Amino acid sequence: MNNSFKIGIVAGLVAGFVSAIYTIFIHVPLVYELGAQHWFLPPPPETPFMKIAINEIINGLIWGAIVGLIYAWVYRVIPGKGVSKGLVYGLFYYLITNVYWVTYFLIYWYPPTMISNLIRLPMWIIFGIVLGSLNEFLRGKYYVKKEPKVVQYSMMSGFQPGVIAGFVSAVSTFFTVLFIELTAIGVIEPVHLMEIELDLSFILSQLGSQTMWHMWWGIFLALIFPKVYNLVPGKGITKGLVYGLVANYLLIEVRSVTEAIGYGLFGIVVSFLIVGPIYATIYGLILGYLYKPKK
């Protein structure tokens, strides 16, 4: 097991399983104690805890392996040393998954899902600590050779490209979604918005709020891009596309898809499968085209 990627996968599997156990026995009961909800499921005694347990363990293992592999891939550019690298990585993933969805549902002011996502923080701390500590243990045990340093660039060099990429992809995606909504109403609306009427005032308010939301996260991910630039496969535009599809679609949207499938929320799945690739592709292409490495 002297390959760092194998070690990352093994560490990720264990971290994913541990975090799933935390979710089942601590996070979900706490969610309902606070009057929130877990994936739009009914409160006790109707809550299907067996379904939750199976779904969380399966997704914990699948995404633990994927996230662990990516951890090994970007290991050299993560701040800190040893276990702290895993903790930093876990906190980053908390931001681009749970905090990401908190800000999304803030637009519609839907506290139950906002609360559920906010209190996921301990789970990602546990995940990061387990991932980081086990990864370091296995690297030491199997004497993994130190890899050469990766040239990194100033985070602020990604700011302007992130603004433009976030804005253009947000507006493009919004009108694509609007077209689908007007021609196939109800296909991609969030579960709690099924009764909302698509009048002009609502459309304009959503255009503004969705654009600002996408721009904020577009900028955030663009600030990370310079740090991993030389680790992303391809050149120029291709680098941006790969980064957009991994950071903006795989790690955020596809993870949500696999969880939603397990809970039978197929309306949300359709939304993620249609909208996610459109936004991530446009965002990645523009970011790759505009970004020029600057030390």
Contacts of 179 (CB under 8 A, 6+ apart): none
Per-residue pLDDT, 187? 43
Contacts of 227 (CB under 8 A, 6+ apart): 77, 152, 153, 155
Residue 20 and residue 120 in contact, taking contact as beta carbons nearer than 8 Å: no
Per-residue pLDDT, 282? 93
pTM, 2 dp: 0.88
C-alpha span between 202 and 248 (Å, rounded): 26
Could you list the mean pLDDT of each consecutive 10-residue stretch along the chain, which spans 295 residues? 84 98 96 91 90 95 96 95 94 93 84 91 97 94 81 94 92 74 49 52 76 90 96 94 93 88 78 80 95 82
Per-residue pLDDT, 199? 64
Question: Chain centroid to CA 86: how far?
Answer: 16
C-alpha span between 130 and 287 (Å, rounded): 33
Question: Chain centroid to CA 206: how far?
Answer: 22
C-alpha span between 12 and 133 (Å, rounded): 11
Residue 280 and residue 272 in contact, taking contact as beta carbons nearer than 8 Å: no
Residue 222 and residue 270 in contact, taking contact as beta carbons nearer than 8 Å: no
Per-residue pLDDT, 181? 57
| HEC-encoded secondary structure of the chain | CCCHHHHHHHHHHHHHHHHHHHHHHHHHHHHHHCCCCCCCCCCCCCCCHHHHHHHHHHHHHHHHHHHHHHHHHHHHHCCCCCHHHHHHHHHHHHHHHHHHHHHHHHHCCCHHHHHHHHCCHHHHHHHHHHHHHHHHHHHHHCCCCCCCCCCCCCHHHHHHHHHHHHHHHHHHHHHHHHHHHHHCCCCCCCHHHCCCCCCHHHHHHHHHHHHHHHHHHHHHHHHHHHHHHHHCCCCCHHHHHHHHHHHHHHHHHHHHHHHHHHCCCHHHHHHHHHHHHHHHHHHHHHHHHHCCCCC
Domain boundaries, the chain: 4-141, 155-290
Instruction: Give per-residue burial for 55-67: e unless 16+ CB within 10 Å, then b.
Output: bbbebbbbbbbbb
Number of CB atoms found within 10 A of residue 163's CB: 16
Per-residue pLDDT, 160? 95
C-alpha span between 108 and 193 (Å, rounded): 9
